[in-house]
Amino acid sequence: MSPLGFVHTALSLLAVVSGLIVVAGLLAARRLDVWTAIYLASAMATTVTGFGFTGSFGVPHYVGIVALVFLLVAILARYGLRLAGSWRPTYAVAAVLSVWSLVFFVVGEAFLRTPVLKAVAPTLTELPFILTELAVLAFFVTLAVAAAMTFRQESTS
């Protein structure tokens, strides 16, 4: 593995784990400030380093661009606009969907590196892969809606 690959993978793992913790916090109407800062920084870093790999521009790059948009909206809502008014649920949705963008790549890597999954979707264009990604997207959209609803008011506990 190249140095870029190692750094990108380490950042990705940190971003996915911290992102899932942030999502759990949002669903409990809690900000989790330290985890949020770790998540947003590591997610931004892993997304940016993802553009450093060689190859033709394709689906991973488009998802990376979408991830950057979600991250920028989340950062603006959280730090620039301090979760004021409608920016609070906007932040929740953007944060959850930015975690989805990372999980999108985790699913892809699972299909590329797990023999039984690779056998059913060797090129990542086959129906089992597409259905899995759509199910994961639907799950995260549901989480985003739930987070927007529960994060409207911060928990006092």
Sign of CA dihedral 112, 117, 122, 126: negative
The span from the CA of 89 to the CA of 72, in Å, is 15
pTM of the model: 0.94
Per-residue pLDDT tens, the chain, 157 aa: give them: 899 999 999 999 999 999 999 999 999 999 999 999 999 999 999 999 999 988 889 888 999 999 999 999 999 999 999 999 999 999 999 999 999 999 999 999 999 999 999 999 999 999 999 999 999 999 999 999 999 999 987 654 4
Q: How far is CA 117 from CA 10, 33, 112, 131, in A?
A: 23, 37, 7, 13
Residues 6+ apart with CB under 8 A from 66: 101
- Angle between helices 87-113 and 59-75 in degrees, nearest 10: 150
Residue 28, C-beta contacts closer than 8 angstroms, at least 6 positions apart: 150, 155
